Structure 1
Amino acid sequence: MKVIEDRRVRRTRSALGAALVELVLEKGFHTVTVDQLVERADVGRATFYAHYRDKEDLLVWVVRDLALDRVRVMPAVEQADAGAEGIAELPLLHLFQHAERERPACQVILRGEGDGRALREFTEIIGELAGDVFRSRCRQAGVQPRVPLEVVARAWTGEVVGVLSWWIEGGTGLSAAEVTRHLCDYSAYGRMWASGLSDAPALGSREAAPPPRT
């Protein structure tokens, strides 16, 4: 009985989440009403309030559910036998592929709908995940970070969320794999190399530095 109830709750929440995403993309968050949500999801008004305080609460649930969906499969992605470079790249590739599959929800979140609360929640979740990854890698390598890892994680998150916001709207001509490779190159080689202003990749990059000019 418990399993059946859990499935019903999940179906109800998913229906309301999908209704919110659809309506926000059609009308904008501030014009969407609870009455419109329950009608689109085909649930009762009392059912809505049994799960959520208001539509803002529902939007935050959409963010957390999206993040949880990604987290569920991350261990398998990170453990993939892809070598040292692939391990660093695969989680980022998965983030973009996951965003592509969930494009409507990501558009609502990354546009800052709901006074930006959902975007802040999303950014916080990604930042915490990034911090965990950086701390784990430092422990495994037995090294001390030169910059506080909180700064590293937030800087990385800001760059990734910024590119994701731009890319998810479409029209870039870049696939998930291509934009991931560009971000990895940018991260490994540095801004000056990426801009074409420096020939030599940053220290520790995947490319050997070119010989000095004569």
Structure 2
Amino acid sequence: MEREEDLNRRVRRTRQALKTAFVDLILEKGYEAVTIMDIAERADYNRGTFYKHFVSKEDLLRDIHDDFLRNVSEVLLLPYEGMEKIEATGIYPSTLQLFQHIEQHKRDYLALSSAQRGKTSVGLYDTLRRSMREDMHIEMEDNSPPLDYEILLSYQLSATVGVIDYWAETGFKYSAEYMAGQLTALVNSRMDHIVFKRN
């Protein structure tokens, strides 16, 4: 008889094989064209094995989506364990963790973005927003103009997700380190003036 630990390991391995196969197929031929038979064959299983683990391809996609977002909040806080606060310019470590997480799961991100048409970005935005509300709080400089906190959060998080989406559009051509540095510089920079080109 199979031990529970071995059974769990086998279940995890099977589920991961089905997820990897699905992601590969979405990137090759698009979400709509992929069938459950395609997924099972690519993972070297039969349809029955697929249905033991997932109800449908939508269920499998949701599982990949949830997996991708599950660790985002944790990676943001990891560098600051035991700390009470940091300077705003010191956000690079958590920003780097976020970009490294996405870099490690970039095929999942691209497949989800392709299949969900914007839902992945919204999910990432919502996850980051929840973390910023529950786990941290931005304090502004004393001489800063009064800002509505929800508008501030919306601005910062929209910028973050926008930069991540741009990175994905480029096919992740920059390193996670470079992107984290760029976002940190953007968040902490202040514009001087704007030049009009058409005059």
RMSD: 3.1
- Which residue of 2 is the match for residue 158 of structure 1? 158
Q: Equivalent residue of 1:189, what SS? A: coil
What is the alpha-carbon distance in structure 1 between the residues aligned to residue 178 and residue 159 of structure 2?
16
Q: Indicate the residue corresponding to 1:148 in structure 2.
A: 149
CA contact (8 A) 1:64 1:122 kept: no
Structure 2 portions without partners, runs of 5+: 140-145
- 1:209 matched to which residue of 2? none
- Determine helix, strand or coil for the equivalent of 1:160: helix
Change (3 A) 1:105 1:172: closer
Are the structure 2 counterparts of residues 30 and 179 from structure 1 closer, same or farther at C-alpha, using a change threshold of 3 Å?
same
Cα distance, 1:62 vs structure 2:
0.9
Distance (whole Å) between structure 2 residues aligned to residue 161 and residue 29 of structure 1:
23
| Paired residues for 1:53-202 under 5 Å | 53-79=55-81, 84-85=87-88, 87-111=90-114, 113-135=115-137, 146-149=147-150, 151-170=151-170, 174-190=174-190, 192-193=191-192, 197=194
Letter in 2 for 1:186: L
In structure 1, stretches of 5+ residues that fail to align are 139-144, 199-214
Asked if the contact 1:110/1:165 (under 8 Å) is kept, the reply is: no
The answer to whether the 8 A contact 2:121-2:161 is kept is no
Question: TM-score, normalising length from structure 2?
Answer: 0.76
Cα distance between partner residues in 2 of 1:60 and 1:155: 27
Deviation at 1:167, TM superposition (A): 0.9
Bigger relative contact order, structure 1 or 2 (CA pairs below 8 A, ≥6 apart): 2
1:29 has 2:31 as partner: yes
Secondary structure of 1:158 counterpart: helix
Deviations 1:166-192 (A, max 9, x none): 1124368643223222222222234x3
Alpha-carbon separation, structure 2, partners of 1:106 and 1:45: 25
